[in-house]
Amino acid sequence: MKKHLFTVFALLSLSIACTTDNSGKIDPAIQSNVPTEATGKWMWGTFSLSNFWGYDGTYQGKPFEQAFVLDFKANGEFEEYVINSASSYNCRTEAFTYIKGKVKFNEDQQSFTLTPQSGNYRGFYSCYPKNNFKRDAKASELKVTTYYYDVVTNQGQKQMVLRDSPNDSQGMTMKWSN
């Protein structure tokens, strides 16, 4: 289930939009202070404990990595990172998404709304470098998204359970990673 949720979040991060007033500036109504318990970096991810070393003794990297990070600033700004990478047959493939904008928390509903302002995408293919790219996010890819959350402590570690609806019983558990 977590892999499916991450895929949904990764796809959502590729399709996020910005609301502006007529001047092109972010509407102050979408800005808010982040609750103290939610401030900081939250990460869901898989990082392999093993590494690949080539037959010639050179370091080839981790075989597989996948992470989703939300970084909430106390002033109502957020940064989002989505990282996917894999190594196979001496080839490395990496995809990186970065989104930045404003976040508004609704503590009564235990939700927050991300309003992206900018972002970029990068792709790296070690065996096919002509396909590498780095580009800014298009306005059509920057979409407002609302998530529901709970901050809990599990075995002494602060965690955020992120859900796409208030009635979602599963969610994705992100660890506080400051």
Residues 64-99: pLDDT tens digits?
788 899 999 999 999 999 988 887 777 888 899 999
Give me the amino acid identity at 61.
G
Is residue 130 classed exposed, middle or buried when 0-12, 13-18 and 19+ CB atoms within 10 A define those classes? Answer: exposed
CA-based R_g, the chain, Å: 18
pTM for the whole structure:
0.72
Over pLDDT 90: what percentage of the chain? 51
Decide if 39 contacts 74 (C-beta within 8 A).
yes
Q: Position of tokens 């599990």? A: 154
Write out the residue range of the structural domain in which residue 121 sits.
Answer: 2-51+59-176
Q: What are phi and psi of 3, to 5 degrees?
A: -65, -40
Instruction: Assess whether pLDDT exceeds 50 at residue 4.
Output: no
Q: What is the mean pLDDT of residues 166-170?
A: 88
Q: How many domains does the chain have?
A: 1
